[in-house]
Structures are given as structure tokens and as C-alpha cells.
Structure 1
Amino acid sequence: MDADDLPRRKGDLVSQLATQPLDSLSVDELSLRITLLEAEIARTRAHREKAGRTRAAAEALFGAPPPAPPSSAPPPPVCQTGGTGR
């Protein structure tokens, strides 16, 4: 699945960028836009790597979180008591 196929929040910055008309931009303006977008991609990747290192450090300290149950699993049984407390 391409990133373009993924749903986006309305008003999302990426949505705004994707809908901006490019026809009125000159070759120099398009080159500048590409440079700025590449810099933002690099910044985002660096932040993602930092977040991954932070998560790995937390998992090393506290242990990895338990895996999520499969979505097709039935709900856990409800414990019902007869009200007698026994």
C-alpha cells in the first residue's frame, strides 16, 4: 500500500501539502520545495530513531510490554459471584 493510499486526518499538514497546486511554481521554487521537504524528512527520521532508542532503553529497564491479544480472541470471561461472598 502506498503512503498516498493511507487515510489522513482532515487538515493534516501532509494533506495540505498534497493538495497544493504545483503548476504555478517555477523550477527553482520546486527545487527549493524538494530541498525543504527532504530536510523535514531527515528531521522526522532522526526523531523516529531517537524515539526508538528511548523505547528500547525503557524496554531494557522495565521489560517489553506484553503482546496485545489477537483481535479474533473472545472476550475474557466475566467473573460472577452469587453474592454470598463464598
Structure 2
Amino acid sequence: MSLYDEDQPKKKTEHEIGSDLSLLSVDELNARIALLTEEIARLEAERNRKSASRSAAESLFR
């Protein structure tokens, strides 16, 4: 490992909505798609958990 490795800017691994995609390679685009697909699944799981919780609470107070 070189002393200069720390000086190199690290590639951004996150995706920013609306960012310029023109400089990304196909592999980088695929990685971002995978990242966003995983995030969508995580968001949907949380939404489902909260919906179930809300439904249970609503049925309790009816």
C-alpha cells in the first residue's frame, strides 16, 4: 500500500437521486440498480410492518 493511497478520492458508493449518470460505466449502473433495488425492498418491508401495526391498532380501537 502506497502512502498516496489515502490521498486518492474514494468513489461514491451511494446514489443521489437526479445525479448525472452519463459518466458511469455499465457495471457502475448495475451496482446502483442493485443498491436501489435493495433499498426499495427495505422500504417496502418497513411499510408493510407499519401497515400491519396500524391495522392491528385500528381493529383494537373500533
Instruction: Judging by fraction of residues, say which structure has more helix.
Output: 2
Higher relative contact order (CA 8 A, sep 6+): 2
* Greater C-alpha radius of gyration: 1
TM-score by length of 2: 0.72
**Runs of 4+ more than 6 Å apart:** none
Partner of 2:8: none
Identity across the alignment (%): 49
- Structure 1 unaligned spans of 5+: 1-15, 64-86
Q: Number of aligned pairs?
A: 47
Deviations 1:39-74 (CA, angstroms, capped at 9, x unpaired): 0000000000001000001011112xxxxxxxxxxx
Partner of 1:40: 39
- Structure 2 unaligned spans of 5+: 1-15
TM-score by length of 1: 0.53
Partner of 1:23: 22
Q: Please provide the CA RMSD for this pair.
A: 0.9
